[in-house]
Amino acid sequence: MKRIVLASASPRRRELIRLISDDVLCVPSGEDETLPDGISASEVPLHLARLKAQSVAKEYPHSVVIGSDTVVILEEEILSKPESEQDAFLKLSALSGKVHRVITACCIIDGEKVRTFSEETRVEFYELSPREIEEYIKTGEPMDKAGAYGIQGRGSLFVKGITGDYFNVVGLPVARLLRELKEF
């Protein structure tokens, strides 16, 4: 099997890809993530995964390159990484007591061959008090995470239930990715 190059700077994706192979090179794409007009929230991760993979594949033409992107969507609005503690508070307050979607898309490139897919997981939060949210923000954990929470950390204490792939919410649907790589 060819060497795998993961087009990502995410420490969580770097850790998860190692469940598939120990021989993985992680290279951030540095690609401009400006979105085209009219793109729907659920199309965003596929668009960005493709951009990242194509950018890195130019540098590694003899490797299997995987680009990936994750979005948190509440009522068709993407909840990106918070820009401030106040922004994190607003995002977590919006998620309180509701079900939201987490979509991770992957783009696999090997030379001229390209394969893309996306995985969706639904996550339900308990009702959160302002104090719970403030205490969580003080940990610093939500500040670099889409939707302002990490399901693999203290953010898990807010989760009432999930429907779908847990690792998809962390940032990489590894079981599906392995199957897609085998078929690829």
Mean pLDDT of the chain: 94
pLDDT at position 113? 94
pLDDT band at 1 (very low <50, low <70, confident <90, very high): low
As a whole number of angstroms, the distance between CA 159 and CA 151 comes to: 8
As a whole number of angstroms, the distance between CA 133 and CA 92 comes to: 7
CB neighbour list of residue 125: distance below 8 Å, 6 or more residues apart: 95, 96, 97, 98, 99, 100, 158, 159, 160
Fold of 4-183: Maf protein (3.90.950)
User: Which amino acid is located at 90 in the chain?
Assistant: L
Mean pLDDT for the stretch of residues 151-169: 96
pLDDT at position 38? 87
How many CA atoms, within 13 angstroms, populate the side-chain half-sphere of residue 70? 27
pLDDT band at 173 (very low <50, low <70, confident <90, very high): very high
CA dist list (Å): 6 to 31, 86, 110: 14, 33, 12
Between 27-41, 61-75, 133-147, the lowest mean confidence (pLDDT) is in 27-41
User: Which amino acid is located at 122 in the chain?
Assistant: R
At how many degrees (to 10) do helices 130-138 and 85-95 cross? 140
Residues annotated as part of the active site = 69
pLDDT at position 2? 83
Query: Per-residue pLDDT for 73 more than 80?
Result: yes
Query: Per-residue pLDDT for 33 more than 80?
Result: no
